[in-house]
């Protein structure tokens, strides 16, 4: 899983306690399942990493959805079970054969979906019989559908197995496979915690008006708090600009985003502008427009790598200010 800022767990005491309880259940031979849901930057991956650090005595296996592999059936399953294949000989032959084909270890026709899902369940149960297992699944929204279906099947059928499964799903999401499992919606930090986080990461004095503007803009989103406060000058931190109502802080943040956009290749900048001009986040519409403008799909990669734009079922900017910066800087002709 990708690294996250080392800003601690301000405001996440109850969430961490719930994860600790799940790990204790697994150590006691009882299964536990949880789906953490929330917007980008809200701290889902940080909680998964916390669970991994606290998993003393458990065997940790993890997988993260990869946007580029969403169209590759069983790519998620293959990465998840790879560390467990030493126990493959301990599961029934029909399940073993199906999982070997799904994992690319054997040739054959597309395996029966039920057999693959049962095989993953059995493999986890066999592994947990010798040592409790913690299974972490990040970026669920980017898992290939067969893998997601199989993991949802497994989560519903863990019983007396010494295993805990924790999923992290970005919202908004069109994925409903996990809706019937125990949920943990993750919201922005409360105002006191958001202020405390800013106090940790912003050097020197931070003017109260500036602080309140940042907290308000981000609604307590930890990544947003970091993004809006990053790169501020000493005078800006001290309130050396017009009051928040003027929008000056927002404009300066937009300028920083625009500087990153301007370093991208021309086709990528063009694609980002098309995305900014389409207000509904309709990925299919965006790609049809890009095709008419002769923008290749590969133009997305630099924007994704720069952390500015993501496209799967929907178009998502890192922050709304990226969209406004790009569209506001475009000429009328470019917008047309």
Is position 8 within any domain? no
Instruction: Specify the pLDDT at position 292.
Output: 92
Contact assessment for residue 1 and residue 138, using Cβ atoms and an 8 Å cutoff: yes
- Does 180 share its domain with 212? no
What's 308's domain CATH number? 1.10.10
Same domain, 128 and 275: no
CB 235 within 8 A of CB 224: no
The pLDDT tens digits for 11-47 are 898 999 999 999 999 999 999 999 999 987 788 988 9
- Would you list the DSSP string of 178-232? TTTS-EEE--PPPHHHHHHHHHHHS-S---HHHHHHHHHHHTT-HHHHHHHHTT-
Please check whether residue 56 lies inside any domain of the structure: yes
User: What pLDDT, on a 0 to 100 scale, did the predictor assign at position 139?
Assistant: 87
Q: Do 107 and 157 lie in a common domain?
A: yes
Task: Answer yes or no: do 156 and 132 share one domain.
Answer: yes
Mark whether 39 and 77 lie in a shared domain. yes
Q: According to the model, what pLDDT value does residue 282 have? A: 80
Q: Checking DSSP bridges between strand 309-311 and strand 183-185, what pairing results, if any?
A: unpaired
Is there a contact between 190 and 220 (Cβ–Cβ < 8 Å)?
yes
Same domain, 233 and 126: no
In a domain, residue 227? The reply is yes
- Alpha-carbon span 201 to 139, nearest angstrom: 26
User: Does residue 4 fall inside a structural domain?
Assistant: no
Same domain, 289 and 217: no
Give the whole-angstrom CA distance, residue 224 versus residue 39: 11
Residue 40 maps to a domain = yes
Answer yes or no: do 35 and 150 share one domain.
yes
Query: Is 3 among the domain residues?
Result: no
Q: Is 223 in the same domain as 330?
A: no
Residue 194 lies inside a defined structural domain of this protein = no
6 found inside a domain: no
Is residue 173 located within the same domain as residue 127?
A: yes
Instruction: Provide the token pair at 94.
Output: 């029909």
Burial degree of 318 (CB within 10 A; 0-12, 13-18, 19+): buried
Residues of the chain under the 50 pLDDT cut: 1-8, 240-250
How far is Cα 251 from Cα 242, in angstroms, rounded to an integer? 12
The CATH number of residue 113's host domain is 3.40.50.300
Look at residue 204 in the predicted model and tell me its pLDDT.
67
- Residue 180 lies in domain: 13-185
Total domains in the chain come to 3
Q: Domain check: are 271 and 316 in the same one?
A: yes
Give yes or no: residues 66 and 40 share one domain: yes
Query: Alpha-carbon distance 215 to 222, whole Å?
Result: 9
Q: Is 62 strand, coil or helix?
A: strand
The Cα 165–Cα 290 span in angstroms is 39
Per-residue pLDDT at 244: 43
pLDDT confidence of residue 6: 39
Instruction: Say how many C-beta atoms besides its own lie within 10 A of residue 185's C-beta.
Output: 10
């Amino acid at each position: 899983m990708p690294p996250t800022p080392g800003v601690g767990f301000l405001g996440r005491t109850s969430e961490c306690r719930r994860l600790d309880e799940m790990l204790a259940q697994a150590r006691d031979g009882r299964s536990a399942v949880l789906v953490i849901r929330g917007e980008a930057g809200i701290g889902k991956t940080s909680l998964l990493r916390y669970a991994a650090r606290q998993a003393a005595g458990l065997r940790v296996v993890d997988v993260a959805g990869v946007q580029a592999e969403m169209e590759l059936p069983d790519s998620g399953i293959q990465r998840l079970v790879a560390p467990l294949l030493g126990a493959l000989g301990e599961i029934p032959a029909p399940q073993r054969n199906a999982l070997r084909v799904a994992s690319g270890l054997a040739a054959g026709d597309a395996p029966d979906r039920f057999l693959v899902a049962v095989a993953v369940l059995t493999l986890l149960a066999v592994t947990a019989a010798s040592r409790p297992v913690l299974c972490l699944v990040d970026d669920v929204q980017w898992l290939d559908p067969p893998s997601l279906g199989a993991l949802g099947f497994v989560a519903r059928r863990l019983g007396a197995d010494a295993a805990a499964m924790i999923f992290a799903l970005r919202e908004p999401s069109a994925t409903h496979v996990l809706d019937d499992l125990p949920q943990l919606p993750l919201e922005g930090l409360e105002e006191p915690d958001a202020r405390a986080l800013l106090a940790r990461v912003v050097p020197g004095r931070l003017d109260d008006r500036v602080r309140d503007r940042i907290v308000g803009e981000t609604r307590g989103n930890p990544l947003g708090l970091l993004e809006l406060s990053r790169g501020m000058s000493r005078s800006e931190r001290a309130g050396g600009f017009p009051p928040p109502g003027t929008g000056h802080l927002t404009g300066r943040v937009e300028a920083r985003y625009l500087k990153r956009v301007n370093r991208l290749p021309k086709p990528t900048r063009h694609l980002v502008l098309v995305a900014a001009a389409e207000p509904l986040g309709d990925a299919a519409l965006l790609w049809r427009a890009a095709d008419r403008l002769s923008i290749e799909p590969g133009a997305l990669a630099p924007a994704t790598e720069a952390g500015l734009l993501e496209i799967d079922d929907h178009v998502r900017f890192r922050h709304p200010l990226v969209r406004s910066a790009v569209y506001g800087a475009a000429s009328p002709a470019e917008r047309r």
